[in-house]
Structure 1
Amino acid sequence: MKKIISILAIALLVSGCKTSPTGRTQIALYSDQKMNEMGSASFEQMKKEQAIETDPSMNAYVKCIAEHLIAELPSNYANQQWEVVVFKEPSANAFALPGGKIGVHTGLLNVAKNQDQLAAVMGHEVGHVIAEHSNERVSQNSLLQFGLQASSTALQMGNVEYRNAIMQGLGLGAQYGVALPFGRTHESEADVIGLDLMAKAGFQPEGSVALWKNMEAASSGERPPEFMSTHPAPQSRIANLTSKLDEASRLKQAAWQSGKKPQCK
């Protein structure tokens, strides 16, 4: 039984190995077509359930930023037909989904004070898509479930004492040892990808740091310890972004010299 489990696990891992835009090895078990179908279906459902902002100037502003960012994506993403929707939602949030979908909440415009700050959020969200984080997360959940079920079967077959207690411990270990750090890795990676993307499009990269400072100021309530959160602590991500501003500024300067200087208002 253990040999069968090992063979299946290795086969899954080998078949799904990829490399992220930052050079990180990742597991992505699902096809691009499947992920695009899932992303498009989710987006259609959101449009049915949430109110959509129809103000022309607000939509033009958000779409202007999206167009500049999309133009800097790898060709297979840049050539997609992207759909950008502004939702009437007070939370300061945005998201992007496989299949070329971008959603921005109106509440975000109260925190992202200018085009550079909004580009930082939208670049971050598109960064999740081009790094295939959705695929990686779905694959990770599938592998975790497979591993826990296999462990339970092996313990049951071996008649191991305290099986339930051991399985509970394995579940907590998977949550805090794999799932949560995995989420923080995705967030940090999307920050880096988004920073490069906005700079290549000609946006001011300093807007990313200002944005997360605004986010921290706007947040309410106590935050969980970083090791128990799927997102890095605000100060951690601000420090990470700040350390990469010099290179991002060089990318922005090159963009300006080539005529890329967004004027989204």
Structure 2
Amino acid sequence: MKKIVSLYSVAILLIIGSCSTNPFTGKKTLALVSNDQLFPMAFQQYGQFLTENKVVVGTAEAKRVEKVGMKIKAAAERWLTANGQAAVLQGYQWEYKLVDNKEVNAWCMPGGKIVFYTGILPITNDEATMAAVMGHEVAHALASHGAQRMSAGMLQQAGAVAVSVGTQNQSAEKQQMWMQAFGLGSQFGVMLPFSRDHESEADMIGLTLMAVAGYDPKNAVIVWERMSAKGGGQAPPEFMSTHPSNETRIAKITSQIPAAKAEAAKFGVVFK
């Protein structure tokens, strides 16, 4: 097992030397992959996705996606510039598309490529509720969550190699036991909580962005209430999910609304 300890020591040194800072929270974040490496790959995948799916153009909904996206982008630029973080925006190429797909989903690729599916439009049926989801997606991009997930995946793979090497002299049965234990432990103890933390962080940052853009952050609660009603209680237990439960999100968002409004007030945006 000394080999495992040695390999993990190397991994720890890599982590210490490969950190960046979240511009919104000031927290140190994992960054084994740089934006210069990640953005070109993301842009290529995004371009391919658009060629393989039906992009909706010219409709009122498609125009709303574009309008809200531009307002959230402008709010992010205002906040980051005012807080001395304008350099974070380097390399982003913002784009907002509506795609014909019944799935209730929206996503953002690293570098600012954002897609809303038509399936989420009943949930985001006006600018304010759409801004809640758009702010969340823009937050994922600017907080570099994609790079962090990729970095975490690389470490998980390295950990699996370490376990394999460290147990190679044991029986196949014991080696398999160690690998299974590592797989379950890293997935439920590290990767899934890591993903849920990202979702909660994007919720919090997104509240600030939508508020600075002039949208009342209470509309984020409306979004998740609608999500909860549509889900019908079929979601897996929170500890098995990449996302917090709807109930957890609603509670956290509700508690964070006053702070988002206070932040918006610094930019002259005041809500009743």
Structure 1's consecutive aligned runs of 4 or more residues displaced over 3 angstroms after TM superposition are: 1-4, 78-81, 157-161, 251-258
Listed as ranges, the matches of 1:105-254 within 5 Å are: 105-157=117-169, 162-220=174-232, 222-254=234-266
Following TM superposition, by how much is the alpha carbon of 1:133 offset from its aligned partner in structure 2, in angstroms?
Answer: 0.7
1:50 corresponds to: 53
1:8 and 1:257, CA in 2 relative to 1: closer, same or farther beyond 3 A?
Answer: closer
Q: Does residue 72 of structure 1 match 2:75?
A: yes
TM-score (norm 2): 0.88
Give the C-alpha shift of residue 179 in structure 1.
0.8
SS at 1:60 equivalent = helix
Residue 22 in 1 paired to residue 57 in 2? Answer: no
Unaligned segments of structure 1, at least 5 residues: 261-265
Q: Deviations over 1:122-154 (max 9, x none)?
A: 110111111111111111011011011111101
Secondary structure, counterpart of 1:72 in structure 2 = helix
Gaps of 5+ in 2: 81-85
- Number of equivalent positions: 259
Asked if structure 2 preserves the Cα contact closer than 8 Å seen for 1:202 and 1:253, the reply is no
> CA 1:198/1:6 → structure 2, altered by over 3 Å: closer, same or farther?
same
Distance in 1 between the 2:190 and 2:4 partners? Answer: 22
Specify whether residues 38 and 177 from structure 1 end up closer, same or farther in structure 2 by C-alpha distance, changes over 3 A only.
same
* Inter-partner Cα distance in structure 2 for 1:78 and 1:240: 31
Task: Spell out, residue by residue over 1:13-70, the C-alpha distance to the aligned partner (whole angstroms, 9 max, x if none).
Answer: 1221123232333211011111111211121121011111023432221111111110
- TM-score, structure 1 length as denominator? 0.90
RMSD: 2.2
8 Å CA contact 1:203–1:252 kept in 2: the answer is: no
Q: Please state whether the residue corresponding to 1:110 is helix, strand or coil.
A: coil
**Identical pairs, percent:** 37
3-state SS, counterpart of residue 223 of structure 1: coil
Distance change >3 Å, CA 93–CA 160, structure 1 → 2: closer
Residue 9 of structure 1: aligned partner: 11
Contact 2:106 2:117 in 1 (8 A): yes
